[in-house]
Structure 1
Amino acid sequence: MQNYKRLLLLICLSAPVWLFAQIRVSGTVVDSKNTPIQFASVKIKNSNQGTSTDANGKFSLTVPGKGGLLDVTFIGFKGTSVNVTAPTTDLVISMQEDVGHLEEVVVTGLASSTKRANLAHAVGTVSAKQLVGTTPQATVDAALYGKFPGAVVSSNSGAPGGGISIKLRGITSLVGNSQPLFIVDGVYYDNSSINSGQNFISKAANQGSTNFQENPSNRVADLDPEDIERIEILKGASTAAIYGARASTGVVIVTTKKGKSGKPKIEIGQSIGWQMQLKKLGMRSWDTAKVRAAAGANGLAIYNANGGKTYNYEDELFGEHGFMNNTRVAVSGGNDKTSYYAGMTYQDNDGIVKNTGYRKTSFRLNLDQALTKFLDLSVNANYIESNANRGYFNNDNTSTSMGVAYVSTPSWVNLYPDANGNYPNNPLVPSNWLQTRDLTTNNETVNRMLLGGRATWKVLKNSVHDLKIIAFGGIDYYTLNTKGIFPAVLQFEKNGNGTNGALLYGTTVTHNDNYSALAVYELNPNNGFIFTTQAGLNAINNNLNTVVNTATQLIGTQTNLDQAGAIQVEQNKIISKDRGFFAQEEVNYKDMLIGTVGIRGDKSSRNGNADKLYYYPKFSLAFNILPLMDVKMLSLLKVRGAYGEAGNFAPFGAIYSPLVPANFNGTTGSLVDVTRGAANLEPERQKELELGVDAGILNNRVGVEFTWYKKDVEDLILKVQTPGSTGFSTGWKNVAAIQNKGVEIGLSAVPVLTKEWRWNAQVNWWKNTSKVTRLDVPAFNVGAFGASLGTYRIEKGKSATQIVGIGNADDKVDPVTNLALYGNAEPDFNLSFNNNVTWKSFELNVLMHWKKGGDNINLTPLLSDFGGTSHDYDDRDLDPKGQLTNGDYRKASYGNTARPFVEDASYFRVREIGLSYVLPAAWFKNIARVKVGFSGRNLINVFDYNSYDPEVSNFGIDAISSNVDVTPFPSAKSFHFNVSVTF
């Protein structure tokens, strides 16, 4: 008992000392203009304890003991440290902007990163501010336009709900997936584009082209841009090799927002706006002579019966001013043990075509918890519900899509319903497109859940050794329902014209999961060297199951599948399992010499030999020269080089000979298909060498990045003809190779920096050229609709994106193939110019983009010519002899030369522009930061292209057959009024 009394006395005597040994520190974090920096991180060095600044840049925390070092960090600024030894209430910490982003932390492995100043390869990065800081974004992929070099980002159409194609550093496959791999918080994010069965109505893939042209959206559209903290784009194999057999098309790593220690942060944002057609083509003017020439005596009778009246059908179809609404609420905060981030976005956008639009609701919850001193846990959850009404557009072979029917119908034909709502038949085309617009349905509905987690076990940490065991993974699960309703009352469905109505109901259930476990060991022997070693295992499972039910001979106005006279079912399953390992060693000598070597080994059920490991190595070296020099003007001078390999799977099922169902006198069975499976098929492989130089001038107020790369894509897979003696007509083989060479140049600068003015400027320039270096089969045409209209041609020694067609005496025609070279889809170059100008509380952001060169196969004018409706039909600037009008010249060219159908798709546009103003804090008693502004997308567009928009692809995300224009859903421009409040 006596001992307990002594212990209690000791505690009582020491308690005041313990309480006294704390320092209370409060103050403000500001930038070089003394403007408060909100939500900067203020942490006690070597501790989890810390806080973040509020909306006015203020912070407060308690430092235990007699003082310590405060580490202050914020994105876009150089980290700084402040030593505090006494209590203070007015500490001012000034941060210097990281002009060249050299202290930006960039991924170098599955669980390691380094400062941008030490990178040995080019990595594109897009911050939250760059992504959504100027104007609201409908989808993540659309938000990436022009924001980093080395990519061609283009919209396949303007239909609500997305549909974006991204190609990084050129063509990487002829038939395989051409879109990059998306990883969100460590979870492999499915980005499939799934057809709805609409081809049953359009028959677009039944004549001439075997590719589907249903214009589905791609599923990365589900990701909410407002949730994203940062995006890193691994453009080439030298960076993406660590992801192995899925990475030859590049990798996009998405990191979502997290909470920070400190008081709860509440963000509320609201924007409203309108979108409208990007470019109007106008309507052809008519008289009796033109009507007789276009539609004959029957057409003239219709014209005269209507008194020569015409209708502005372009405005009727594309003239909607779609209302756009975006509401955002987010709450974040935490302490030294727990941090949280919760966000909700509601988006509701009407399209520029009546009865089209896109609605999405997204919920996100991110939690980080320090369970013990040695165990941390992170959990990410995201639920998305979206609904897109996309209209019925693109190519068809039945003249039933709204686009084809519209360009085929002269403006003097009355398509409007009568007083009872009955639509007249179109006398010239099988479809009344007004009736189709008002009565049909083409809908996509998505319910998606993304769950991810990461556990970090800090096994050992001291001044020399740091060992962590990390496990992470996640589940990506969604259901996609597609619904196409073509009621029996439609002109092309009734009276024996079609199938007396059709229902297209599709359901796709996707379940993907991935798991990784690895160890990361850092050795710092305090001799200038730092060694970082990591190794681990990885497993990925994919399961996609699509069922499309097509019902015809509908009963009355019923839209249930069981209320139909006939029904057919198609099912497609894609199931794959991948397993692999990875190992990597990084060596850093005094931030002067940084080297990395690594390898990835992968095996997959999609390979010919599912148990065979394919290896993907990577090497890189960066040398910061400046420490060896004495050049006061320079703040950075680095040379770098990297080499890496990555893979791309074969099309699913290519290793097998498929079975097709058959019926023999009422008995069902299966037949072997005419395509032979390839048991020895190997994955496509990309090998890339990258060299570059980075420089910083005048304390990094000017930064320059130069990158050259050569990328060889080998073992490209094609379906080729096989000898008839095999019993098959076609088969899959590794038969080709493509080489891409390119240059990327980035220039960042702060031309103006005063207490009131600041101008940040960034210019990116990039160019890629491709060449077919191996082709084990005869040269062949691919994509589009054949040589008479222009098509792509794969030919050894030539560009992989060359466009050829049949030619006449006026063209330079190859005497063997009778084909002439008319263009190339690859741009001559791309240039983007991003400007951020601040003056006091005003901020102006402008993103401009110039694409020079690159050709499209534009067939929309020709289809308009066949209907006599082309806006430029009567102009005379195409015929070299000056004899024929434009419409007559294009029609006369059909079957004789493809020259007029291949057009330059250059453009200049202001992709984003935004002006905002931060209202005086005193108006809100310094408890909130309120910003109001105006913004717009694609408000200024300059191009001579003879259609709605040069950014278009009738064939969606196909690797080769992009840049084809066939009466698409037109693109839109939009403007928004925005307000955000932060507490």
Structure 2
Amino acid sequence: MKQHYSRCLLTFLALLCLNVAMAQEIDVSGTIMGGENGEPLPGATVMVKGTTNGTITDFDGKFKLKAPAGARLLVTSIGFKSAEVDASSNVTLTLEEDVTRLNEVVISGLASTVKRGNLANSVASISAKELTTMSNQSTMDGALYGKFKGANIVSNSGAPGGGISIKLRGLTSINGSNEPLYIIDGVYLDNSSISAGLNVVSAAAGGGSQSNQDNPSNRIADIDPEDIASIEILKGASAAAIYGSRASGGVVIITTKRGERGETEVTLSQTVGVTQILNPLGTREWDAAKVEAAFGADEVANFQSAQAAGNLHDYEDELYGNKGFLSTSRVTATGGSDKTKFFMGITRKDDEGIVKNTGYEKTSFRLNLDQKIASWLDLKASTNYIHSSADRGFFNNDNSGNTMGIAFVATPSWAQLGKGSNGLYPNNPYAASNFLQTRDLITNNETVNRFLVGGTVVARLITQDNQSLRLNVNGGIDQYTLSTTAIFPNTLQFQKDGNGLNGVSVQGNTVTQNSNASIFLIHDFFPGSSGFSFTSQVGLTFIDFDQNNIIATASNMNGTQTNLDQSGSVSVAQNRIIQQDRGFFIQEEVNFNDMVIATAGVRGDKSSNNGDVNKLYYYPKGAIAINLHNFDFWNVNFLQQTKLRAAYGEAGNFAVFGDKFSALNAVNIDGSGGLIISNLKGNREIAPERQSEFETGIDFGLMDGKISIDATYYVKKVDDLLLRAQIPSSTGQTTAVVNAATMENRGVEIGLNMNLIRRENFSWSSTTSFWRNTSEVTRLDIPSYTVGGFADFLGQFRIKEGHSPTEIIGVGANPDEDGLVVFGDQQPDFQMSFLNQVNYGPLEFSMLWHWKQGGENINLTALLSDLSGTSPDFDKVDLDPEGELGNGDYRLSQLGANTAPYIENASYVRLREVALYYKLPVLQDYAKSVKIGVSANNLLNFFEYRSYDPEVSNFGGQGLSSGVEVTPFPSSKRYNFHLIVKF
């Protein structure tokens, strides 16, 4: 049977080759240039129109290929308008710059693309220039701030090494992940935030929320932003439906840099800089009366003695005042021949934090290879190795008073905490820990070794004038080992003398492996002169996820030993997650002369996480774009582009691994091991959360492409939300996971791109973006409940039908039927960003402003500092309606009766990035170009929020996580100097 298929395939290929050979072909060559100066344009795509036969230009803008006599060539390049020209032996063509990006290629399926001018969805695209050329970025996700519409990006921690959550077009889950799916060069990335087991010391989960409060980083931070060529963000199901049950939170598609034909080009770059705290608050100004009121009469003498001796300390500066040194070194090499192209990038990053003994080190090595195996067969391979180490300190919430932030806000300026002449630290009489001792002696490290390997094989099975058939096979592996080390020596104040566990060593090891494979068939068909073209694709996907997390905790350490076996007690916890997903997809795209472009498709998925592992869940999509300007009746001359578009799609979100089972937990009964059923009842009927989205919009282009405007309105409905419902205790369990709610998001996105000035020595471009989202729980099958905080009187979120899932409730006057009062909403009213880029001769200037209006935070840092009398604004009088009490006394007077004083507006205006570069005149014999520059991140910040930064999240990226602050690691600003040399 196999031989029969082989003979048929060989015969088919032989006939195909004969058919192609019979067509008369000519040798075509030429030069492609770009811009007003007509400089050679490398990397431009030159295609024989109506076929898939093509090539790209080399460093000098030159190309060669074969084409049928009389054919037309279609030439495209990112950032330029496409153009056509007759195929000949000496083609010369200059492309015009295209600020509107209408000819930019955007992914429209798992293996197909479409011109942005024909796209029916609002898909955000970020180029390498926008991502990293302004300023040096610490992490990839941090580089996304303010650069596209429809996102709410929040830093979970200011600690080096990242920790950022991204929500696209509002919430998509209440208990599950709201993070998008990340795909890099076809490899599905894991973006877990994994606990280091700090709860054994902090007891953060001992009261209120049981969520992970260890302040971990997330794994997308591993990716080097300097390797990235472009990012496309599919923000909702209307665009992301083709990715099925993993796409509820949207999809971020990352394409890394690849080689180009020509001589090898080497680029060396070095960035050095310094980081400092973003918004120092200062400390309270004390006098004897204030000391007595806050600490009692016996403390006045200590204050006066320290004051007389000049020993009052600015502990904010001592803890957060480190001027961290920043260094990023990078080498890239790119080049190749007609058959083999390569890109290599090596980055070494070493960033110190604003807290001593914190920092982030990363080494990233990338090698991408493109190989033309035959005229009809291409291979692309992407490899990346990353090693990183992050020291993150000990911050955020605790119920023991041990973290540095909580101990700091409890300590007045006359405390004497510095190391003595004997090398020992004194106990802090005002808190459970001496935060300077904790800073200098503890270890909280995350170390990652990560391998990313991806490959794509493209076989052009049929290549004819009016049709082509391609077979795409791709796959990849994302494998990493995360080692966490948390050491709390028994010499610490909160570990010695019976205060704690006499020293703790927590060592974790997590091995994660994602593997994915896909097989696609893509058929392009151009039937004669009808004006129609068809792109059909069908494929299968296979995705496996395996994560094994082991955390061993040792206490009662032997002296200064840190090994687990050098202890009096050891406990081990293991969490294993195994998931297998299988799916198929079909998509058809019809294009009529770029006038009407329609797309329809469906994805089918099944997963081991579902109650029925063999049941397929289907996710359809449909879209239409109408380019009115291409119709004969269109005579609005000042509008060169007018596109109406609409799209609908569905996507899913898998249930959490294990929710369909009633787990058996280990228990010790009279010294014998046993099993006891968990409190969570499994649901064998559990199904994915399901999202459906309708999006409509209009795009305009005017002034010959110098101005473009896009506007989008969407309605996103999330059904079958998975919630934990209370069940009768008579069942032997207390909660069960059920599909029990529906939520709806509505939003608007508007963009304005302007490129009004394009002269030989001067250009100016500007991009303005506006977006807003509102959410509502439209169905709730269980009673309303509060979540995402510590207690109702301190402020929490409430899940209630007819209300926003991110509304912040508390106690106060005129409560509703739940006995609660609504004080705000964590979601902002709207956000805007303003990107401006100016080139004047050899000078390049750019800046990015970000405005977030509205949205509230629960500021429990203010509560903790009020309780200790140390709040910087304690004596300021601007909160009490009567104008009598200072802010600290007023807030405390309302505690338990009125939550309002601890709910604060989190609006801000921020200069996210600003940069100035100068291109030096150099001799070509030494270097192709030399550029120097200066840049800054978060240089200017305007907000009234009474803490270090309105961007906070005590609970990381989990569920309803953002907007709760408990003494976090403060945010920072960065100043950089750059040197870039190309050879």
C-alpha spacing 1:35/1:417, structure 2 compared with 1 (3 Å): farther
| SS of equivalent to 1:79 | strand
C-alpha spacing 1:507/1:266, structure 2 compared with 1 (3 Å): same
Is the Cα–Cα contact under 8 Å of residues 159 and 390 in structure 1 kept in the other structure? yes
Which residue pairs with 1:52 in the alignment? 58
Does 2:557 match 1:554? yes
Which residue pairs with 2:174 in the alignment? 174
TM-score scaled to structure 2, two decimals? 0.94
Q: How does 1:221-232 map to 2 (within 5 A)?
A: 221-232=221-232
Which residue pairs with 1:841 in the alignment? 842
Which residue pairs with 2:542 in the alignment? 539
Identity %: 50
C-alpha spacing 1:37/1:356, structure 2 compared with 1 (3 Å): farther
Selected match of 2:603 from 572, 588, 600: 600
Deviation at 1:844, TM superposition (A): 0.7
| SS of equivalent to 1:788 | helix
C-alpha spacing 1:594/1:42, structure 2 compared with 1 (3 Å): closer
C-alpha spacing 1:50/1:707, structure 2 compared with 1 (3 Å): closer
Selected match of 1:673 from 672, 678, 687: 678
| SS of equivalent to 2:249 | coil
Which residue pairs with 2:458 in the alignment? 456
Does 2:763 match 1:723? no
Which residue pairs with 1:579 in the alignment? 582
Which residue pairs with 2:326 in the alignment? 324
Selected match of 2:340 from 324, 338, 341: 338
| SS of equivalent to 1:865 | helix
Deviation at 1:712, TM superposition (A): 0.5
Q: How does 1:754-793 map to 2 (within 5 A)?
A: 754-793=759-798
Which residue pairs with 1:623 in the alignment? 626
Is the Cα–Cα contact under 8 Å of residues 79 and 95 in structure 1 kept in the other structure? yes
Does 2:133 match 1:133? yes
Is the Cα–Cα contact under 8 Å of residues 391 and 441 in structure 1 kept in the other structure? yes
Selected match of 1:692 from 670, 692, 697: 697
Does 2:484 match 1:482? yes
Cα shift readout 1:56-96 (whole Å, capped 9, x = no counterpart): xx455667899998765432112345668677xxx975331
| SS of equivalent to 2:205 | coil
Does 2:826 match 1:825? yes
Does 2:293 match 1:293? yes
C-alpha spacing 1:963/1:411, structure 2 compared with 1 (3 Å): same
Q: Greater shift after overlay, 358-367 or 745-754?
A: 745-754
Cα shift readout 1:486-544 (whole Å, capped 9, x = no counterpart): 00000000000001100010000001101111111111102111111111111110000
Is the Cα–Cα contact under 8 Å of residues 450 and 476 in structure 1 kept in the other structure? yes
* Distance across 1 between alignment mates of 2:476 and 2:583: 17
TM-score scaled to structure 1, two decimals? 0.94
* Distance across 2 between alignment mates of 1:512 and 1:270: 33
* Distance across 1 between alignment mates of 2:65 and 2:222: 43
Q: How does 1:51-450 map to 2 (within 5 A)?
A: 51-53=57-59, 58-59=60-61, 73-80=76-83, 93-308=93-308, 309-450=311-452
Which residue pairs with 2:7 in the alignment? none
* Distance across 2 between alignment mates of 1:86 and 1:692: 44
Q: Which amino acid aligns with 1:874?
A: D
Deviation at 1:304, TM superposition (A): 3.8
* Distance across 2 between alignment mates of 1:149 and 1:86: 45
* Distance across 1 between alignment mates of 2:600 and 2:440: 60
C-alpha spacing 1:515/1:62, structure 2 compared with 1 (3 Å): closer
Deviation at 1:313, TM superposition (A): 0.7
Is the Cα–Cα contact under 8 Å of residues 40 and 72 in structure 1 kept in the other structure? no
Cα shift readout 1:191-236 (whole Å, capped 9, x = no counterpart): 0000000011111111122112111000000001011011000001
Is the Cα–Cα contact under 8 Å of residues 42 and 70 in structure 1 kept in the other structure? no
Which residue pairs with 2:741 in the alignment? 736
| SS of equivalent to 2:296 | helix
Is the Cα–Cα contact under 8 Å of residues 381 and 451 in structure 1 kept in the other structure? yes
C-alpha spacing 1:924/1:298, structure 2 compared with 1 (3 Å): farther
Cα shift readout 1:942-964 (whole Å, capped 9, x = no counterpart): 00110000011011102213211
Which residue pairs with 1:506 in the alignment? 508
* Distance across 2 between alignment mates of 1:785 and 1:467: 58
Is the Cα–Cα contact under 8 Å of residues 49 and 335 in structure 1 kept in the other structure? no
Does 2:804 match 1:804? no
Deviation at 1:799, TM superposition (A): 1.0
Q: Which amino acid aligns with 1:667?
A: S
* Distance across 2 between alignment mates of 1:616 and 1:821: 37
Deviation at 1:40, TM superposition (A): 4.1
Which residue pairs with 2:909 in the alignment? 908
Selected match of 1:702 from 665, 690, 707: 707
Q: Which amino acid aligns with 1:486?
A: F
Q: Which amino acid aligns with 1:280?
A: P
Cα shift readout 1:739-789 (whole Å, capped 9, x = no counterpart): 000000011011222222211111110010001100011111111111111
Q: Which amino acid aligns with 2:396?
A: N
Deviation at 1:324, TM superposition (A): 0.6
C-alpha spacing 1:106/1:758, structure 2 compared with 1 (3 Å): same
Is the Cα–Cα contact under 8 Å of residues 307 and 414 in structure 2 kept in the other structure? no
* Distance across 2 between alignment mates of 1:729 and 1:852: 41
Deviation at 1:249, TM superposition (A): 0.4
Which residue pairs with 2:957 in the alignment? 957
Is the Cα–Cα contact under 8 Å of residues 831 and 852 in structure 2 kept in the other structure? yes
Which residue pairs with 1:869 in the alignment? 870
Is the Cα–Cα contact under 8 Å of residues 400 and 430 in structure 1 kept in the other structure? yes
Which residue pairs with 1:494 in the alignment? 496
Selected match of 2:523 from 521, 524, 535: 521
* Distance across 2 between alignment mates of 1:118 and 1:71: 16
Does 2:640 match 1:639? no
* Distance across 2 between alignment mates of 1:602 and 1:307: 70
Is the Cα–Cα contact under 8 Å of residues 40 and 73 in structure 1 kept in the other structure? no
Deviation at 1:890, TM superposition (A): 1.3
Is the Cα–Cα contact under 8 Å of residues 158 and 970 in structure 1 kept in the other structure? yes
Is the Cα–Cα contact under 8 Å of residues 792 and 961 in structure 1 kept in the other structure? no
C-alpha spacing 1:933/1:92, structure 2 compared with 1 (3 Å): farther
C-alpha spacing 1:634/1:886, structure 2 compared with 1 (3 Å): same
Q: Which amino acid aligns with 1:218?
A: N
Q: Which amino acid aligns with 1:918?
A: K
Is the Cα–Cα contact under 8 Å of residues 782 and 961 in structure 1 kept in the other structure? no
* Distance across 2 between alignment mates of 1:22 and 1:679: 64
* Distance across 2 between alignment mates of 1:435 and 1:804: 38
Is the Cα–Cα contact under 8 Å of residues 41 and 61 in structure 2 kept in the other structure? no
Deviation at 1:727, TM superposition (A): 2.2
Is the Cα–Cα contact under 8 Å of residues 368 and 376 in structure 1 kept in the other structure? yes
Cα shift readout 1:817-851 (whole Å, capped 9, x = no counterpart): 22111001111100001011111111111110100
Cα shift readout 1:121-141 (whole Å, capped 9, x = no counterpart): 110110000000101111111
Which residue pairs with 1:10 in the alignment? none
Does 2:933 match 1:929? no
Is the Cα–Cα contact under 8 Å of residues 773 and 797 in structure 1 kept in the other structure? yes
Is the Cα–Cα contact under 8 Å of residues 154 and 962 in structure 2 kept in the other structure? no
C-alpha spacing 1:980/1:67, structure 2 compared with 1 (3 Å): farther
* Distance across 2 between alignment mates of 1:688 and 1:61: 44
Deviation at 1:469, TM superposition (A): 1.2
Does 2:884 match 1:899? no
| SS of equivalent to 1:636 | strand
| SS of equivalent to 1:704 | strand
Q: Which amino acid aligns with 2:906?
A: A
Deviation at 1:982, TM superposition (A): 1.6
RMSD over aligned CA atoms reads 1.9
